[in-house]
Amino acid sequence: MPNISLAKPFLNDAEERAVLEVLRSGWLSSGPRCLEFEELVANFIGRRYAVAVNSGTSAIHLALMAAGVTLGDEVIVPAFTCVAALHPIIALGAVPVPVDIDIKTFAIDPSCLAASVTSRTRGVLYAHLFGIPGSVSDVATLCRTRNLFLIEDIALALGAYQQTRHVGTIGDFACLSFHPRKMITTGEGGMVLTNSESNAIILKELRNYGASVQAWHRHRTDIASLPKYDRPGFNYKLTDIQAAIGIEQVHKLPEIFECRRRIAGHYDKSFDQLPWLKVMSEPAGIRFGYQSYVALVDLPAAPSSYTPDLRDRLITHLTANGIASVQAAQAMPSVAYYARHFNWPLSRFPQAMRADASTIALPIYPTLRESEQEQIIAAVRNFRL
């Protein structure tokens, strides 16, 4: 087993005390801590409403439902992402439509988008991967022109900015994840953000079986009658135990960002002269979140048909040196389920296939020691083609 992990959550006594306080309070389900957590995240990102749920996948599922996605609708998705973005579309009986990416951002290439819009298209699910902001403004313009909804998947982009604007503030919805590999964690958990009060009400009902009144509100106001149920929903609530952890994590965000940026800068300088490793540098006016440190492992003269041999050999080399690393994400057309059910031609997604074959994520987290960083850098630089 590698002795340097790919990721570690940044926890200490503050989270332990916060959880103990909730346990002693007698209220463990979604309640006052969730409300506080939602307000903190909404204020940090710059959106009016936040609805905490039990995972990032649930967040996407409920955002799609609130947007009105139903049987047979088409939703445009990036061809290179995580399956968690597509599975909720399938669950609703809708059809994901992959679009190739811009290799500089790993997000949907706006120039490829219009050709994929049909009469059945309802909206776009746009992912900002690895803390790298994509060209979402161009996508938003097209969505407004075609009357399509826009969901920003910012599960990997908390703390990423375009100019002075946090990602996730342009779409109709933004979806977060609080899995332990994300910028902050609640163990498992997620959140949907929106500026629409009506959408926020729908989201709150959907996460709680469709109930018109939340249990904490009934408890506080001594309402005796049961809620109304105008729509079916799910049990997607976040607990106050998890929210208490999340609150302390939000307080640590400045330190988390500073540590990750420092490590990423050290990597950038150390790998800059390697001809076979392309690092992702910040353009002017863009601030990466560095949820992951992702680079492309390929040669400048590589053919248009990429194979993962070089990247996979680097991963094996790093493992032998006690260092965890991983392929950063996947090209959805090559994932077994989607290949079997949709048979999307791989040739339509050259940049997604390049990313699938070439991306590598290296360890980056606040408690990664300088000696461990040097071990990682030395192992990468000692790799022989």
Angle between helices 309-320 and 350-358 (to 10 degrees): 20
3-state SS, residue 382: coil
Q: How confident is the model at residue 220 (pLDDT cuts 50, 70, 90)?
A: confident
Q: State the average pLDDT over residues 27-48.
A: 97
Backbone angles phi, psi at 147, to 5 degrees: 60, 50
Label residue 326 exposed, middle or buried (CB < 10 Å: 0-12, 13-18, 19+). middle
Instruction: Tell me the pTM.
Output: 0.95
Instruction: Tell me the pLDDT tens digit for each residue of 261-310.
Output: 999 999 999 999 999 999 998 999 999 999 999 999 987 655 555 678 99
Is residue 223 over pLDDT 90? Answer: no
Q: Going from the N-terminus, what domains does the chain have, and what CATH number goes with each?
A: 13-251 (3.40.640.10), 253-381 (3.90.1150.10)
Q: Are 94 and 343 in contact (CB under 8 A)?
A: no
Label residue 371 exposed, middle or buried (CB < 10 Å: 0-12, 13-18, 19+). exposed
Instruction: Tell me the pLDDT tens digit for each residue of 328-359.
Output: 999 999 999 999 999 999 999 999 999 999 99
Q: What is the pLDDT of residue 193?
A: 98
Q: Are 91 and 113 in contact (CB under 8 A)?
A: no
Q: What Cα–Cα distance (Å) separates residue 322 from each residue in 6, 10, 56, 150, 384?
A: 11, 21, 30, 42, 17
Q: What Cα–Cα distance (Å) separates residue 13 from each residue in 19, 37, 248?
A: 10, 18, 10
Q: Which of 41-45, 178-182, 210-214, 250-254 has the lowest mean pLDDT?
A: 210-214
The number of CA neighbours under 13 Å toward the Cβ of 121 is: 23
Q: What is the pLDDT of residue 227?
A: 79
Q: Are 101 and 211 in contact (CB under 8 A)?
A: no
